[in-house]
């Protein structure tokens, strides 16, 4: 408890998050540019400060002082409110995201469910931006964003459900949606061992929710030139950018908590906060670096491939994972059956994807783009 009044306490904690996140975004932009430079055999930003360390700061000042333009034909309120509708849900999700055993704003019983539900609201913002800009590329991007984000939310939720099913608490037995309880249940073995399939589904679907490469179909520069953000500039554009990076942090922390044992594994529950914070930081950074690495390694998917992968691979396998978890829990089979079955399914899913990709590479089929209404 930071302050005596619970309202004040919550506000102070939320304020800390609201201050820390833009800072993290500035650092992450710098890190991403540096890594991309390395991967493309350049130096990356070098001008501002030693090794370009202050580049992010300079960019922030530039973005904040840049003129905030609005197309004359744009729909005023929809256009101007869209960045807020994207940013606010992402920050709201942090209300219940625990960083360590007692470093959170509020510990909600349904925390995991809350995070998933609230972060889904930001899709509305993309559609608003796409429609409100009165620009055909923005509209295309908005429609693509709506299609992609809604589709990939389903495997994401199912993968999370699989983990919530096997989370174990001594008081209530199996099953929990409370993130603190879920982490406490993985003191010795993180859930990635029991649920590798759910982990991979979560990772891929999370990457798609972040609309980063190879899933950057809604904002693809070479197809829809920035998608919903095409008409934005200055502070409103930087809000979209911030939302993207903050949700990257959100997904990474969530992956660390759900699958890598958060602050718990491998040090156990007793480790002090001085050890817990570095632990969660390392795990989160691992996922963030993985996302950045993937961004500069994989080519962009085609929209029909993206949809097929979601509905024909991720979704059936996520359902299979849940069914198997149900069997194991109902019949009380030992824990290792979970890991073995899930691992085998992961291999099957990987092989199917690999075969499809090989087939596509050997005999390129012309994409069958059905005319979906008039926009896509």
Partner 1 sequence: MSYEEVIFYFVAAVTVLGALGVVLTRNVVHSALFLILALLAVAGVFILLSAEFLAIVQILIYGGAVTILILFVMMLTRVRDMPQALDGPQRPFAALAAGAFLVLSVLAALSSDWPGETREITVVPFREMGEALFRDWAVPFEVASLVLLVALIGAIVLARGEEGE
77-96 residues near partner 1, rule: CB under 8 A:
77-78
132-133-135 Cα angle (round to 5)? 125
266-277 burial, b at 16+ Cβ within 10 Å, e below that, comes to eeeeebeeeebe
The interface region with partner 1, picked from 71-79, 199-207, 297-305, 339-347 by CB under 8 A, is 71-79
> How many residues sit close enough to partner 1 to count as binding (CB under 8 A)?
34
**Count of CB atoms situated within 10 Å of the CB of 210:** 21
The Cα–Cα gap between 16 and 346 comes to 39
Instruction: Answer yes or no whether residue 184 interacts with partner 1 by CB under 8 A.
Output: no
Instruction: Answer yes or no whether residue 118 interacts with partner 1 by CB under 8 A.
Output: yes
Smallest gap from residue 228 Cβ to partner 1 (A): 12
- Of 3, 12, 110, 357, the one binding partner 1 (CB under 8 A) is 110
Instruction: Answer yes or no whether residue 374 interacts with partner 1 by CB under 8 A.
Output: yes
Smallest gap from residue 174 Cβ to partner 1 (A): 11
Q: Calculate Rg over the CA atoms of the chain.
A: 21
The Cα–Cα gap between 357 and 111 comes to 37
The interface region with partner 1, picked from 103-111, 197-205, 287-295, 359-367 by CB under 8 A, is 103-111
C-beta of 124 vs 294, nearer to partner 1 = 124
DSSP string computed for 179-226: HHHHHHTTSSS-HHHH-HHHHHHHHHHHHHHTT-TTS-GGG-HHHHTT
The Cα–Cα gap between 138 and 126 comes to 9
- Of 17, 24, 146, 329, the one binding partner 1 (CB under 8 A) is 146
Smallest gap from residue 371 Cβ to partner 1 (A): 6
Cα end-to-end span (Å), the chain: 51
- Of 21, 28, 90, 127, the one binding partner 1 (CB under 8 A) is 127
Smallest gap from residue 310 Cβ to partner 1 (A): 14
Which residue ranges make up the site for partner 1 (CB under 8 A)? Answer: 75, 77-78, 108-110, 113-114, 116-118, 120-121, 123-124, 127-128, 130-131, 139, 142-143, 146-147, 150, 153, 172, 177, 370-375
């Amino acid at each position: 408890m930071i302050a005596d009044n619970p309202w004040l306490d919550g506000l102070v904690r939320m304020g800390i998050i609201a201050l820390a996140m833009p800072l993290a975004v500035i650092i992450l932009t710098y890190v991403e540019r540096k890594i991309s430079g390395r991967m493309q055999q350049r130096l990356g930003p070098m001008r501002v400060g030693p090794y370009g360390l202050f580049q992010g700061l300079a960019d922030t000042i530039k973005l904040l002082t840049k003129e905030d333009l609005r197309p004359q034909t744009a729909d005023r309120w929809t256009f101007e409110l869209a960045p807020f509708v994207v940013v606010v849900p992402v920050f709201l999700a942090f209300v219940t995201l625990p960083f360590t055993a007692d470093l959170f704003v509020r510990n909600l019983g349904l925390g995991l469910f809350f995070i998933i539900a609230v972060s889904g609201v930001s899709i509305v913002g993309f559609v608003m931006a796409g429609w409100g800009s009165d620009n055909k590329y923005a509209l295309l991007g908005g429609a693509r964003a709506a299609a992609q984000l809604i589709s990939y939310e389903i495997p994401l939720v199912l993968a999370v459900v699989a983990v919530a099913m096997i989370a174990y608490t001594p008081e209530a037995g199996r099953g929990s949606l409370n993130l603190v309880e879920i982490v406490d249940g993985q003191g010795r073995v993180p859930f990635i061992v029991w649920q590798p399939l759910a982990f991979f589904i979560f990772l891929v679907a999370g990457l798609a929710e972040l609309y980063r490469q190879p899933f950057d179909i809604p904002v693809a520069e070479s197809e829809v030139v920035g998608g919903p953000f095409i008409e934005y500039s200055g502070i409103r554009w930087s809000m979209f950018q911030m939302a993207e990076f903050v949700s990257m942090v959100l997904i990474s922390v969530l992956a660390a908590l759900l699958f890598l044992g958060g602050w718990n594994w491998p040090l156990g529950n007793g480790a002090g906060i001085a050890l817990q914070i570095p632990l969660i930081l390392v795990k989160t950074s691992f996922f963030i670096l993985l996302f950045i690495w993937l961004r500069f390694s994989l080519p962009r998917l085609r929209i029909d491939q993206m949809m097929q992968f979601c509905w024909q691979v991720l979704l059936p396998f996520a359902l299979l994972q849940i069914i198997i978890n149900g069997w194991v829990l109902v019949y009380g089979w030992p824990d290792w059956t979970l890991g073995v079955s899930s691992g085998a399914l992961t291999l099957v899913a990987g092989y199917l994807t690999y075969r499809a990709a090989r087939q596509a590479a050997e005999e390129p089929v012309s994409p069958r783009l059905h005319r979906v209404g008039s926009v896509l």
